[in-house]
Amino acid sequence: MGDEGRRRGPWTTVERERLYRNPWGALERHAVIRPDGSTGEHLFVDLPPAVGVLAVDGRDVLLVRQPRYGIGREVLEIVKGGRHDGEAPDAAARRELREEAGIDAKRLLPLGERVALPSITNERATLYAATGLKEIDVEPDHAEAIEVVRMPLDQALDQALEGGIEDADTVVALTRYAFAIGILRIE
Amino acid sequence: MGDEGRRRGPWTTVERERLYRNPWGALERHAVIRPDGSTGEHLFVDLPPAVGVLAVDGRDVLLVRQPRYGIGREVLEIVKGGRHDGEAPDAAARRELREEAGIDAKRLLPLGERVALPSITNERATLYAATGLKEIDVEPDHAEAIEVVRMPLDQALDQALEGGIEDADTVVALTRYAFAIGILRIE
């Protein structure tokens, strides 16, 4: 409980009940006064701000394939993760890249922000492309198996735009990066 | 509770506790056996499959701007919503377009599937572009104010790729549609 009577955009949160918490986030029930003055309830998923990193090695990109619990199957996607307390987004991007893909990056190119499922969560992500890659020896910190998948950028881009790559963050990062370097053009 | 001992990808869900439910979804705590055999817990957001619809009127697109509770501010995005029980995705797309934007569409062009936050939710969305639009008189079913925003497709596309449009589904739908009709090209 806590944060009673807090403004949240045009809503007022009159009660906030934390139902469950683990190291990755928390599930909450919020009682609210809606913008039109009526009362209601919202489910709310409290997540830290995240980062997503598209690793670029010359004409190739390195994606990760891993099983994802929510959707219940493997997803091919950019490296992603939540920021630690007080951690800057670029530092989080470098850490996630090391932890998930065993890669150090010389340069990070900012690709802007994205929101996803904005009605149910405060999670937002800062996206980057990482270049100047170097493989490092790391102990993976994950119980899940993460497979690093190398593919040509134009092939990944084609899959993102045709629907073969389904992860929204990955489509956003690939298209924004390709647009930034001039491979994707608006006619 | 229920679904004990169910397989979920490489995990086994040994306990499933429903903590909260409202008409839009449910919050759950899952006790799991991980792929490596260790035990753990996952937060899980149970949401119906969704649809997202990019409304296209000639050289313009129609987006909606509305406050979103989770992120706590306004988001400019395509029309979106959860499918009703037994509702086909194209029927849901047409319904959401009527309810949120007051628009009937003659044609729907499929733009593939997308997942978002796949570690925490089973939500997935089927995306469409809608053309052959006709304004209709509807009673909006939402307590929130939804503003319909018309802008040139190439301007929306530019904002999606530069980061001015932050909503991931909207970036995916805009870029896939523009690619499908040849306005966006891989060089």
ipTM of the complex: 0.95
Give chain B positions within 8 Å (CB) of A172: 168, 171-172
Residue in A72, A161, A183 nearest the CB of B187: A183
Give the DSSP H/E element, type plus range, for residue A157: helix A153-162
- What pLDDT digit, counting tens, does each position of B118-152 carry? 999 999 999 999 999 999 987 655 545 789 999 99
Categorise residue A96: left if φ over 0, alpha if ψ from -120 to 50, beta otherwise: alpha
Q: How far is CA A97 from CA A48, A153, B56, B82, in A?
A: 18, 18, 38, 33
pLDDT of residue A76 exceeding 80, the answer is yes
- What letter would DSSP give residue A90? H
pTM metric for this prediction: 0.95
- Cα B111–Cα B114–Cα B118 angle in degrees, nearest 5: 175
pLDDT of residue A140 exceeding 90, the answer is no
Q: What is the pLDDT of residue A4?
A: 59
Give chain B positions within 8 Å (CB) of A38: 143
Categorise residue A78: left if φ over 0, alpha if ψ from -120 to 50, beta otherwise: beta
> Look-up: residue for tokens 């370097």?
A181
Q: Where are the domains of chain A?
A: 6-46, 50-180
- The answer for B 77-116 residues in CB contact with A (under 8 A) is 77, 111-116
Touching check for A23 and chain B: CB below 8 Å?
no
List, in sequence order, every residue forming a beta bridge with A147; answer none if it has no partner. Answer: A65
Nearest to A33 by CA among A16, A50, A14, A52: A14
Residue in A67, A112, A168 nearest the CB of B10: A67
- What pLDDT digit, counting tens, does each position of B12-34 carry? 999 999 999 999 999 999 999 99
Q: What is the DSSP string of B26-85?
A: EEEEEEEE-TTS-EEEEEEEE---EEEEEEEETTEEEEEEEEETTTTEEEEE-EEEEPPT
Q: What is the Cα–Cα distance from B17 to B27, expressed in whole angstroms?
A: 9
Residue in B11, B166, B171 nearest the CB of A69: B11
Residue A48 is which amino acid? Answer: P
Are B45 and B123 contacting, i.e. CB atoms less than 8 angstroms apart?
Answer: yes
The structure tokens listed for B106 are: 């003659």
pLDDT of residue A147 exceeding 60, the answer is yes
Q: What is the Cα–Cα distance from B152 to B173, expressed in whole angstroms?
A: 15
Are B71 and A120 contacting, i.e. CB atoms less than 8 angstroms apart?
Answer: no
**Chain A: closest CA distance from residue B121 (Å):** 4
Are B98 and B21 contacting, i.e. CB atoms less than 8 angstroms apart?
Answer: no
- What pLDDT digit, counting tens, does each position of B45-75 carry? 999 999 999 999 999 999 999 999 999 999 9
> Look-up: residue for tokens 């998923």?
A45
**Residue contact B171–A169, C-beta within 8 A:** no
Q: Which CATH architecture group holds B50-180? A: Alpha-Beta Complex (3.90)
The structure tokens listed for B95 are: 């319904």
pLDDT of residue B40 exceeding 90, the answer is yes
